[in-house]
Amino acid sequence: MTILISSAHASAESLPEVPTADRVADLLRRQMTEGLLLPDDRLKDQELASRFDVSRTTAREALRILASEGLVVSKLHSGSTVRRLEVEDIHDIYTTRRVIECAAVQTSDSATDDMLAALVRSVEKAEDLVKQGEWSLVGTASLGFHGALVGLAGSRALNNFFRQVLAQLRLAFSSLPEDKFQPSWVSRDRAVLELILSGERAAATMLLDNYLADSRATVIDGVRAAARAKKQK
């Protein structure tokens, strides 16, 4: 079972007509959000060119796009790797999340039925995956819920930007044991959803704000613990 499309060719067919480098960057970004690409993974332009059937120049441009988004690190003569986030990055990510997600909830009275249905589907999917113990997929589905939250604002520009944030967030999650980290958040996703569906936007915003504060602390603790463990090796 998959939550987001991983296949290069299948994903490409589902994307709008955009420059090829942007399409390759989007596919790699999706794989980060799905937990298929992890911090420190090598990204070789020749291999990417072959995998996506593009030129090496196009592959390099895709990597430059991801580097500008804080997802990839490229060094002269050393190639490119998926970026490992630091504590300062986590603070920045959560500051961004609280501004965008809480604002989207506050304005959710203008959301369409389709937007709300997408929110419901994302929570139901995550709940089903918890029952199956598919923890990596639970993480992807939960991120899908937060993407759907932002979608309530009805802004294509915000949706596009938030995809970068979700990819960064999943890279940060890689420091945490998913079977212990993910389950507790799904029930909180459900609680936020129910308040939104009931029209209790102020309560939903307050709950989400507390949720994000707790999540930030947990992720920062995990990133610091992973950094300490790496130094001790």
Q: In whole angstroms, what is the distance from residue 215 CA to residue 218 CA?
A: 5
pLDDT at position 128 over 70: yes
Q: In whole angstroms, what is the distance from residue 99 CA to residue 168 CA?
A: 16
CB contact set of 188 (below 8 Å; sequence gap of 6+): 207, 211
Q: Which residues of 121-148 are buried (b: 16+ CB within 10 A; e: fewer)?
A: ebbebbeebbeeebbbbbbbbbbbbbbb
Q: State the pLDDT at residue 5.
A: 32
Beta strand 72-75 with 42-43 is unpaired
pLDDT at position 2 over 70: no
Q: State the pLDDT at residue 12.
A: 41
- Of 14 and 167, which is predicted with more confidence? 167
Specify whether the CB–CB gap between 150 and 163 falls below 8 A. Answer: no
In this predicted structure, which of 123-127, 141-145, 223-227 has the lowest mean pLDDT? 223-227
**Coil/strand/helix, residue 93:** helix
Q: State the pLDDT at residue 1.
A: 36
Could you report the per-residue pLDDT of 18-61, keeping only the tens digit for each?
579 999 999 999 999 999 999 999 999 999 999 999 999 999 99
The share of the chain scoring above pLDDT 90, in percent, equals 79
Query: pTM, whole model, 2 decimals?
Result: 0.86
Could you report the per-residue pLDDT of 129-150, keeping only the tens digit for each?
999 999 989 999 999 999 999 9
Q: In whole angstroms, what is the distance from residue 106 CA to residue 179 CA?
A: 31
**Coil/strand/helix, residue 82:** strand
Q: For all residues of the chain together, what is the average pLDDT?
A: 89
CATH (one of 3.40.50.300, 3.40.50.460, 1.10.10.10, 1.10.260.40) for 16-82 = 1.10.10.10
pLDDT at position 7 over 50: no
Q: What are phi and psi of 71, to 5 degrees?
A: -105, -20
User: For the chain, how are helix, strand and coil distributed in percent, rounded to 5?
Assistant: 75, 5, 20
Could you report the per-residue pLDDT of 198-210, keeping only the tens digit for each?
999 999 999 999 9
Average pLDDT over residues 104-130: 96
Q: State the pLDDT at residue 193.
A: 98
What confidence tier does 231 reach under pLDDT thresholds 50, 70, 90? confident
Q: Cα angle at 183 between 181 and 187, to 5 degrees?
A: 130
Q: How many residues does the chain have?
A: 233
Q: In whole angstroms, what is the distance from residue 182 CA to residue 139 CA?
A: 6
| Residue 94 CB-density burial (10 A; 0-12 exposed, 13-18 middle, 19+ buried) | buried
CA nearest to 153, candidates 183, 109, 190, 98: 109
Average pLDDT over residues 117-132: 96
pLDDT at position 14 over 80: no
Could you report the per-residue pLDDT of 55-95, keeping only the tens digit for each?
999 999 999 999 999 999 988 777 899 999 999 999 999 99
Structural domain spans, the chain: 16-82, 87-232
What confidence tier does 172 reach under pLDDT thresholds 50, 70, 90? very high
**Coil/strand/helix, residue 187:** helix
pLDDT at position 17 over 70: no
Q: In whole angstroms, what is the distance from residue 158 CA to residue 150 CA?
A: 7
Quote the CATH superfamily of domain 87-232: GntR ligand-binding domain-like (1.20.120.530)
**Coil/strand/helix, residue 174:** coil
